[in-house]
A and B are shown apart, each in its own frame.
Chain A
Amino acid sequence: MTTTPDSRIVASVKGVTKSFGGTTVVTDVSIDFRAGEVHVLAGENGAGKSTVTKLLSGIHQPDGGIITVDGHTGPFDVKSAREAGVAIVHQELLIAPNLTVADNLAMGREYRNAARGLDRKSTRERAREQLAYVGAGHIPIGARAEELSIAEHQLIEIARAVSMRPKVLILDEPTSALASQETDTLLRIVRELRDAGTAIIYITHRMEEIEAIADTVSVMRDGKLIETMPIAVATPDAIVQRMVGRQIDSLYTTDRPAAGEVVLSVRGLTDGAAIGPIDLDVRAGEVVGIGGLIGSGRSEFVRLIFGADTATAGTVTVDGKSWRATGPAAAMRAGIALLPESRKTQGLVLDQAISANVVLASLPGVSRVGFVSPSSVRKVAAAAKKQLNIRSSSLSQEVGTLSGGNQQKVLLAKWLQSKPRVLILDEPTRGVDVGAKSDIYQIINDCAKTGMAVLVISSELPELIGLSDRVHVMREGHLVAELDAEGLTEEAVMTHAFGLAGATNS
């Protein structure tokens, strides 16, 4: 089969809308996916790309709109979507490391012999066929999955997905963990599947991949489809331009005096592998942003500063003083606070009361010779609740029952309670509603006003630009560009994040 410009539409979404807990993540999106075509979905993190593929594959059901796959009209659940011909390879791979390649391929569809036992022979033969079909016949089917590379896991996943002979194959950032040679192999297989008539939906953040493989590109932003373009007009510039371009509104206040002395100073910091060496200064009263794609090493970098992970070389000083990096406690004594990326897994004790969480990083402050004073805890928590406008029925309410915005405020309260000199925030408003966002921006501004040095990581460009005095862009473990007030645009950040910057930009 060959690709023709007007090949058949095998799947489509028409006017679909989806919201989770009051947050609309996909709004009125209509896209057609054609047989024998690689259709790339592009957009910032959180633009709604993955959600669209999850609607197609039946993982989520739309709140409105129509989904059709190969003549069947949805909504689908996972099983009916699979029967209609949709296969999806998730970003997080579903491989059991302790099983052999053959057993992984047969998982959920085990072959039985006449005696209802496992038919090992058919399992192996079938595995060999499946791998050969995606051009991965070199993978030993008897090897245990943990002995293989991530690229090979990816190929096994694809072989498993393809073995159902899907009409629509969805690949969600399949190359995010792959080296360039492995990427080439994967792209070759994708092309072959396309040429065999499969409709491929491909999510990626890498421009060079889009250029290499896409036939059609749909750009999404804020849950909306901005434009669907044939590859001929979808130049990297055109794509980036459509991905960004929002207005920075009045959410952000920056009534701060000029920055003071350098407070946080990082020199040559590296984990000896993927991150750095990195130099960075943040001054008193200054908010410095770190932009870049997910996976560019932003969170890993700030974890090194905080001592959550161990640096192999480099120094961190606060107000000119350095310390032995023995872990978070040492960094906290030096005056650093880190609001981690995930408030649920790294930040909060969800089962416990607001008050217990607020004092968690400053227990010595509410105790005397090791004995906690319940009245101090109550006083501190009550003050924080008021200061940060935390909405809850009482201070003993469990944090897990609060909304995302209020959880984030509890986390902020916890770290402000430690009276830091340097406040590092990793995605401070992820999954937070607009009202709470505005409160959090206000608090960050207030912190800088009191002379704290603030470092912010954000994947939301308007937020990054609105909050920051200047922004460093990170790519592949290094700070690749520094953008100050004049050069600070969404396009500039994205251009550097994708590594498209020529000599003219700095």
Chain B
Amino acid sequence: MTDIRDRDPMTITPTPQLAGSVPEEKVRRWATVSRSGIFGVTAALIVLIAVMAFIAPYFWSVNNLLEVVRQVSAIAIIAAGGTFVILTSGIDLSVGSALGLTAMVAIVLANANAPAIVCVLAAILVGAVVGAINGVFIARFALPAFIVTLAALTYIRGFVYVGTGGTTLVPKSVDYAWIGQGNLFGIPVAAIVMVIVYVVGWFVLERTVFGRQVYAIGGNAQAARLSGIPVRRVLFFVYVISGICAGIAGVIVSARLESAVPDLGSGYELNAIAAIVLGGTSLIGGRGSLIGTLVGALFIAVLSNGMTLLNVQSFYQQIIMGAVILAAVFIDRIRRRKEPQH
């Protein structure tokens, strides 16, 4: 039991220390962490895990926890791409459909006996193209992101129905199935992919010029433009990143199912947005973090897993899920209102 606790990064949280005992810079950083909204959802996740471990005995088992992580990987990966988009005060509603399309592309290629690497790269490429099309309309032609990606949600899903003929595609073998089902050193490969996506994403956001430009555009697009930042180019690539993440998620999901279902991924975009917002990223842009998104995604996954273990009917699960998301965002807002505003 103890080793699992050690492996789970979410149970390790910084303990607030007394101001007098730490350097000023550290206190400030802690204040920033607290304000960014990660604190609230992390605390909620810990409480949730503790409660589930207590009332659903099977929850706190290695197999189940690994399953939770495997389940969360696809949503978490598209939420990572979505975090880039929302940080620029945009939105990408097309990722669920894009996931379905990229999964179909990978499965069709697998059915044609293409090597695993081709299936994977083709899916990611298709995701990037979908994102690029969104990006052109949003960044170059200044159409509202909501409308552009809503339209994409619809027409991409149409392509999936056309491509699958409305039926589930089941190839004889899927060479890359290990990505969705296999383990490496006892850890699901999907979870490892997710961690890699988050590490790379964190690095891009925090440590590259591009990442700083993403935050600046979301914080004040006018100031960013007047600072010589190529706003359109950055916005374009943000949607490409979102599409690539949908492609990676499409590979994972199709690998897990070894098939492509016509409505695969539908509704994922909303779960991803819920995870992002729970993780403290502002829909107005400029504020938020990938770590928060990961915690938000885990929160949703743990809640839904726990309810299943407790035999809560799936219809009731939806009611509870919606109520919990609303409550979490509401509590977070109240907590933040108490802090000094400017």
- Cβ of A213 within 8 Å of any chain B Cβ, yes or no, is no
Residues of A within 8 A of B225 (CB): 308, 327-328
Assuming the contacts A351-B219, A352-B215, asked whether A396 and B209 have C-beta atoms less than 8 A apart, the reply is: no
Known: A371-B208, A372-B209, A394-B24. A351 touches B286 (CB 8 A): yes
The chain B residues found within 8 Å of chain A, CB to CB, are: 24-25, 28-29, 32, 206-213, 215-216, 219-220, 222-230, 286-287, 340, 342
Contact B209 A364 (CB under 8 A): yes
Q: Mark A62-89, 1 if CB is under 8 A from B, else 0.
A: 0000000000000000000000000000
Knowing A346-B222, A356-B215, say if A370 contacts B209 (CB, 8 Å). yes
Contact, CB under 8 Å: B222 / A349: no
Cβ-defined contact, B219 with A393, below 8 A: no
Of the A-B pairs whose beta carbons lie under 8 Å apart in the complex, a sample of 9, sorted by A's number, is A345-B222, A346-B226, A349-B220, A359-B212, A360-B212, A360-B223, A361-B227, A398-B342, A418-B228
In the complex, A332 Cα to B224 Cα: how many Å? 13
CB < 8 Å neighbour of B227 from A345, A360, A397: A360
Nearest B residue to A367, CB-CB? B209
A351 to B285, CA, bound (A): 10
Closest B residue to A361 using CB positions? B227
Q: In the complex, what's the smallest C-beta–C-beta distance from A398 to chain B, in angstroms? A: 7
Neighbouring B residues of A356 by C-beta, 8 Å: 212, 215-216
Question: B223, A346: Cβ atoms under 8 Å?
Answer: yes
Contact in complex: A363, B28 (CB < 8 Å)? no
Query: Of the candidates B28, B207, B209, B287, which one forms a contact with A394 in the assembled complex, judged by CB atoms under 8 Å apart?
Result: B28
Q: A308-B226, A350-B220, A360-B223 are in contact. List 10 more A-B contacts (CB 8 A).
A: A327-B225, A340-B223, A348-B223, A349-B220, A351-B286, A363-B209, A363-B212, A367-B209, A394-B25, A396-B29
- The answer to whether A340 and B209 touch across the interface, beta carbons within 8 angstroms, is no
Main secondary structure, interface of A, reads: mixed
Q: Are A396 and B25 in contact (CB under 8 A)?
A: yes
CB < 8 Å neighbour of A360 from B29, B207, B216, B342:
B216
Is there an interface contact between A349 and B215, defined as CB atoms closer than 8 Å? Answer: yes
Partner of A340, one of B206, B226, B286: B226
* CB-defined contacts of A364 to chain B, threshold 8 Å: 209
How many Å lie between the Cα of A308 and that of B228 in the bound state?
9
Residues of B within 8 A of A397 (CB): 28
A46 interface residue per 8 A CB criterion = no
Contact yes or no, A363 B213, CB < 8 A: yes
Most interface-central of A338, A349, A352, A364 (chain B CB within 10 A): A349
**Complexed CA–CA distance, A456 and B37 (Å):** 41
Residues of A with C-beta under 8 A to B209: 363-364, 367, 370-372
Per the bound structure, the CA–CA distance linking A400 and B219 in Å amounts to 11
Check A349/B340 contact, CB under 8 A, given A364-B209, A372-B207, A396-B25: no
Tell me if A401 is interfacial: C-beta within 8 Å of chain B: yes
Chain A residues in the interface with B (C-beta under 8 A) = 306, 308, 327-329, 331-332, 338, 340, 345-352, 356, 359-361, 363-364, 367, 370-372, 374, 393-394, 396-398, 400-401, 414, 418
**Closest chain A residue to B230 by CB distance?**
A329
Chain B residues whose C-beta falls within 8 Å of the C-beta of A359 in the assembled complex: 212
Nearest residue (CB) in B for A418 is: B228
Residue numbers in B under 8 Å from A346 (CB-CB): 220, 222-223, 226
- In contact, B220 and A396 (Cβ under 8 angstroms): no
Of chain A, the residue at the smallest CB distance from B231 is A327
Q: Considering the complex, give the chain A residue whose CB is closest to the CB of B284.
A: A351
Q: Which residues of B contact A328 (CB under 8 A)?
A: 225-228
CA distance A363 to B217 in the complex (A): 14
Residues of the A chain whose Cβ atoms lie less than 8 Å from the Cβ of B227: 328, 360-361, 414
Q: Which residues in A have their C-beta under 8 angstroms from that of B32? A: 396
Give the distance in Å from the alpha carbon of A347 to the alpha carbon of B24 in the complex. Answer: 28
- Knowing A360-B227, A401-B340 touch, does A393 contact B28 (C-beta < 8 A)? yes
The 4 closest A-B pairs by CB, nearest first: A349-B219, A329-B228, A400-B342, A361-B227
Q: Which residues of A contact B286 (CB under 8 A)?
A: 349, 351-352
Q: Name the B residues within 8 Å of A400 (CB-CB).
A: 342
- B212 in complex: contacting residue of A340, A348, A372, A401, CB < 8 Å: A372
- With both chains docked as a complex, state the minimum distance between the C-beta of B289 and any C-beta of chain A, in angstroms: 13
Closest B residue, CB atoms, query A396: B28
Residues of B within 8 A of A347 (CB): 223, 226
The CA-CA distance from A251 to B24 in the complex, in Å, is 35
Chain A residues within 8 Å of B230, by CB: 329
Closest to A411 in B: B223
Residues of A within 8 A of B228 (CB): 327-329, 331-332, 361, 418
Task: Report B-chain residues with C-beta under 8 Å of the C-beta of A363.
Answer: 209, 212-213
A225 to B219, CA, bound (A): 41
**Contact indicator A371/B216 (Cβ below 8 Å):** no
Chain A residues whose C-beta falls within 8 Å of the C-beta of B206 in the assembled complex: 372
C-alpha spacing A422/B196, complex, angstroms = 45
A396 CA / B28 CA spacing, docked (Å): 7
The smallest beta-carbon distance between B237 and chain A, in angstroms, is 12
Bound form: Cα–Cα A338–B212 in Å = 21
Q: Which of B24, B215, B220 contacts A393 (CB 8 A)?
A: B24
Rounded to whole angstroms, the CA-CA distance of A400 and B206 in the bound complex is 21
CB-CB < 8 A to B342: which residues of A?
350, 398, 400-401
In the complex, which residues of chain A have a beta carbon less than 8 angstroms from the beta carbon of B28? 393-394, 396-397
When the two chains form their complex, are residues A345 and B220 in contact, meaning their CB atoms are under 8 A apart?
Answer: yes
